Chain A
Amino acid sequence: MIILGIESTAHTFGVGIVKDEPEYILADVRAKYVPEKGGIHPREASLYFMREAPRVIAEALQSAGLSMNDVDGIAVALGPGMGPCLRVGATVARALSVYFNKPLIPVNHAVAHIEIGKLITGARDPLIVYLSGGNTIIAAFVAGRYRIFGETLDMPLGNFMDTFVREVGLAPPYVVKGMHQLDKCAEESKEKKILNLPYVVKGQDVSFSGLLTAALRLVRSGKAKLEDVCYTVREIAYSAIIEVSERGLAHTGKKEVLLVGGVAASSVLRSKFEAMAALRGVDVKVVPPKYAGDNGVMIAWTGLLAFKHGITVEPERAYVRQRWKLDQADVPWGDP
């Protein structure tokens, strides 16, 4: 079985093609929208997607050495994400489905990050720590769905980090050579000073908005060195995430942790996770950077799992769902 998957929830228009036997991944082509300044403008991103979509699809088929006739189904990420961006992927997918008469498979973007992580790392029944620009979620599979044990009460970790470095003039670009500007700035702190900034963990939830406000105020007051603020902010934010993850492990009794999403690529965060895992005797599995960010392969792969469980959608009913939460998506294939 061969499935073509389309991702277009935020900054990346990606097309992946997968097969239900090794080597699984047949094609992976992406077009990433990089804003000149500021954050992602949904309309600008969607216009970029429209220009790039035909090329990305053609290249994906070509690199797999396939034609549309070889494809058994079209999977598409219908949410969660930015409306204008989602609509491009959905429109393209519906058109392909109708024109080539192929089943259309709805995929939840958050579930897809988890499924590609499980495929590549071999994790079976992990506590999932999903960290990206738009999501900060601690989840685990229980009875048919990925249930949320902890999340952010306000800003996602990635958005928090991006906003901070942008506001203090360090970005864009947000990530240079695989290192986030916040990590880079923090490493420059010689004294590794911990300033008096708020650390907020509520049960299994984190909150970053107070930290952001206080840190920006401190930088603007000129009373502290920027690198010391970066260091404190980074230590507080990462520690809070690891603390709630550790609580999630204690609560669920899971024996492995799977880090997924774009922010999972941070090597500093990863080494902190490994220190925590060693303490608790659990394994840490990290989605490699190549598949940590948004891509079409994860949508294709999750679409394949869903299709095998009979999940399809009529093209005229394939609406985008900007707030399709992780725990609202059925995962009938999820039993470990």
Chain B
Amino acid sequence: MTKPTYRGGTPKIIALGAEAALIKHTFLGMPAVYKVRLPKPYRDPKLDLRLRSERTATEAKIIHDLRLAGLPVPALYYVSLSEGLIVMEYVEGDLLRDLINRRVSGYVDLVRELGKVIALMHGLGVVHGDITTSNVVVREGTPYVIDFGLAKYSNELEDVGVDVHLFIRAVESTHYDVMEEVIIAFFEGYASIAGEERVKEIKEKVREIRLRGRYVEERRQKRNK
């Protein structure tokens, strides 16, 4: 891990995500991300408050648990439910998405590492809810998983399957030209932690989930078998 750089600086909005605003600043001298779930004008105010505080609490608890278990996720610094605020470690690095798009050497290995991290996370009973290559920051060769905004505690095969399905779908839409090797590497990494049997089970679940989608060609084929 890199040594925190103790420097101040002006707060900077790094992303206005769909879920929250991310502001880069410092916290007790350490580089930090302030994640604020801002009220959404299109949501009923009561529904809005319910969703923001529930999600803030769950996200904070999950990244804290994963960090304590030794997984590469940001460290938790501070939480305020009423403000929808989480302050956490700023992970300096490149997005996995960009590294794959630039075909940086070893990008396949990074995806394999990511597969391991996700398998460990699932083993701890956490599903991320939005595993995309834009939600992985690579720092010194380690893929840090960020944005646990939609994560939840679950051991259900269904939820694990959806998690993996979302990753595959994100790869298909973002990295369609190298999707095959990326998906293979992901499962290799996953299997090295969870075992081939478990991967088989998950792949079967993913298939089932995809068949549930609307107008899927395979569904008809399945029915006609």
Chain B residues, Cβ within 8 Å of A325: 214-217
Within 8 Å by CB of B176, from A135, A143, A156, A202, lies A143
CA distance A185 to B15 in the complex (A): 38
Residues 174-214 of chain A, each 1 if its beta carbon lies under 8 Å from chain B, else 0 = 00000000000000000010100001011111000000000
Contact B50 A202 (CB under 8 A): no
Q: B173 and A149: CB pair below 8 A? A: yes
Whether A247 pairs with B220 at a CB distance below 8 angstroms is no
Q: Does B162 contact A (CB under 8 A)?
A: yes
Contact of A272 among B17, B19, B42, B51 (CB under 8 A): B42
- Bound-state CA distance A242–B19 (Å) is 11
Residue A153 CB within 8 A of the other chain: yes
Residues of A within 8 A of B130 (CB): 203-204, 247
Q: A80-B215, A199-B51, A249-B18 are in contact. Are A235 and B44 (CB under 8 A)?
A: yes
Across-interface contacts of B44 in A (CB, < 8 A): 192, 194, 231, 235, 239
Number of A-B contacts defined by CB within 8 Å: 109
With CB as the reference atom, state the residue of chain B lying closest to A242. Answer: B42
Known A275-B42, A322-B215; contact A142-B129, beta-carbon cutoff 8 A: no
Contact (Cβ within 8 A) B40 A276: yes
**A124 located at the interface, meaning its Cβ lies under 8 Å from any Cβ of chain B in the complex:** no
Q: Does B47 contact A (CB under 8 A)?
A: yes
In the complex, the answer to whether A142 meets B212 with C-beta atoms within 8 Å is no
Q: Report if A323-B217 is in contact (Cβ < 8 Å); known contacts: A203-B130, A275-B42.
A: yes
Q: Does A134 contact B (CB under 8 A)?
A: yes
A324 within 8 A of B: yes
Residue of A nearest to B15 (CB): A250
- In the assembled complex, B134 has its CB within 8 A of some CB on chain A: yes
B68 interfacial by beta-carbon distance below 8 Å: no
B40 partner residues in chain A, CB cutoff 8 A: 239, 243, 275-276, 279
Interface membership of B219, Cβ < 8 A: yes
Q: What separation, in Å, do the CA atoms of A147 and B17 have in the docked complex?
A: 21
Tally of contact residues, B, Cβ under 8 A: 36
Inter-chain CA distance A276–B134, complex, in Å, is 22
User: In this complex, what residue of B is CB-closest to A147?
Assistant: B173
- One of B173, B212, B217 near A154 (C-beta < 8 A): B212
CA distance A202 to B150 in the complex (A): 7
Contact indicator A153/B41 (Cβ below 8 Å): no
| B93 CB → nearest A CB, Å | 19
Chain B residues in 8 Å Cβ range of A31: none
Q: Do A153 and B209 touch (CB < 8 A)? A: yes
Interface mask (A241-253 → B, CB under 8 Å = 1, otherwise 0):
0110011111100
B182 CB, min distance to chain A CBs, angstroms: 16
Bits for B23-61, please: 1 = Cβ < 8 Å to A, else 0: 000000000000000001111101100110000000000
Query: Which chain B residue shows the least CB distance to A142?
Result: B173
Q: Judge whether A309 is part of the interface by a CB distance below 8 angstroms.
A: no
Q: Which of B42, B173, B214, B219 contacts A134 (CB 8 A)?
A: B214
Give min CB distance, A136 to chain B, whole Å.
Answer: 8
Q: Which B residues lie within 8 Å of A192 (CB)? A: 44, 46
B17, B166, B215: which contacts A203 (Cβ < 8 A)? B166
Q: Is A148 an interface residue (CB 8 A)?
A: yes
Is B70 close to A, CB under 8 A?
Answer: no
In A216-245, which residues have CB < 8 Å from any B CB? 231-232, 235-236, 238-239, 242-243
- A188 shortest CB reach to chain B, Å: 15
How far, in angstroms, from A278 to B41 measured CA to CA in the complex? 10
Q: What 16 new A-B contacts, CB under 8 Å, besides A152-B213, A203-B150, A321-B217?
A: A143-B176, A147-B176, A148-B169, A149-B173, A199-B51, A203-B129, A203-B170, A238-B42, A239-B40, A243-B40, A246-B18, A247-B130, A251-B134, A275-B42, A279-B41, A323-B215
The 10 closest A-B pairs by CB, nearest first: A246-B18, A247-B18, A323-B215, A272-B42, A203-B166, A80-B215, A275-B42, A194-B46, A203-B130, A275-B41
